[in-house]
Amino acid sequence: MQALKAVYINELYKISKKKKVVVSFILTLAAVIIAAIIAFCLNSFAGIRVTGSSEFSLLVLSVLSYTLIPLFTAFICIDMFGGEFVEQTMKLTLTRPASRFKVFTGKVLAAASFIIANLLMVMILSVTASFFINGTSFNILKIILSYVLAFFPIFVFALMVILITNCTKGTTSAFMLSVLVFLLFTGLGIAFPYYKSFLFTSLFDWYKLFLGSYINIYKIIRNFFILCGYCIMLFGLGYYLFEKKDL
């Protein structure tokens, strides 16, 4: 456990020093601020009520969970795996007293931490902006639950990017292939709606199942097990390729 903890802390330190992280947080901050300004102007000057206080945070989540958050998650995952192989720094990482499994797990946990930090920042910013839009009371528990649940499909996407990165030799090809697979899954969900629920890209908004007046427990459990299945499969395949990859 000490070796895994050391790898995890080391990966967090390396992520914190990357310019991509700073850029991602700045762009995410800008996106939330712009959305808040538009909503405030429409509410105050045009008389158009875009969303309520609670709904603004959920609206921001529904947009960013399909765009900026997966995009920057892909950048970080590709950089942690493909970038280190390309820059020949993976050798230094693997010479430390930690097995490849612990190195791989530490990197995955670091990617998960990045997703959590991103979602937490978006939630805090959107809730703060809600005060300026309407200033009314809202259901903070509903917002927290939505952001917590939004983590799981984005984490599945991160595992898919890690798997693809360990299949490719370059960072550019890994990024392009990740985008292609994401678009392919999204397109398949549109073309074959009957099988849509089996595609993780259709579960990015599964938190909405908890917000309606009627909660379909069966569907929630079904989607949860689908996400768990993706996690187990992608983690196992990703580690297998990472273990077999030559330095």
pLDDT tens digits, residue range 93-120? Answer: 666 667 888 889 999 999 999 999 999 9
pLDDT band at 135 (very low <50, low <70, confident <90, very high): low
Query: Residue 171 pLDDT more than 70?
Result: yes
pLDDT band at 224 (very low <50, low <70, confident <90, very high): very high
Query: Residue 162 pLDDT more than 60?
Result: yes
Query: Residue 165 pLDDT more than 80?
Result: yes
Query: Residue 183 pLDDT more than 80?
Result: yes
Decide if 114 contacts 211 (C-beta within 8 A).
no
Query: Residue 44 pLDDT more than 80?
Result: no
**Window from 160-164, 169-173, 230-234 with minimum mean pLDDT:** 169-173
Coil, strand or helix at 43? helix
The model's pTM: 0.90
The encoded tokens of residue 59 equal: 């609206």
Residues 65, 71, 72, 74: is their CA dihedral positive or negative? positive
Predicted confidence at residue 187, as pLDDT, reads 87
Decide if 52 contacts 131 (C-beta within 8 A).
no
Which domain covers residue 14, as residue numbers?
2-244
The encoded tokens of residue 40 equal: 């405030």
Averaged pLDDT score across all residues of the chain: 84
d(CA 4, CA 87): 23
Q: How many domains, the chain? A: 1
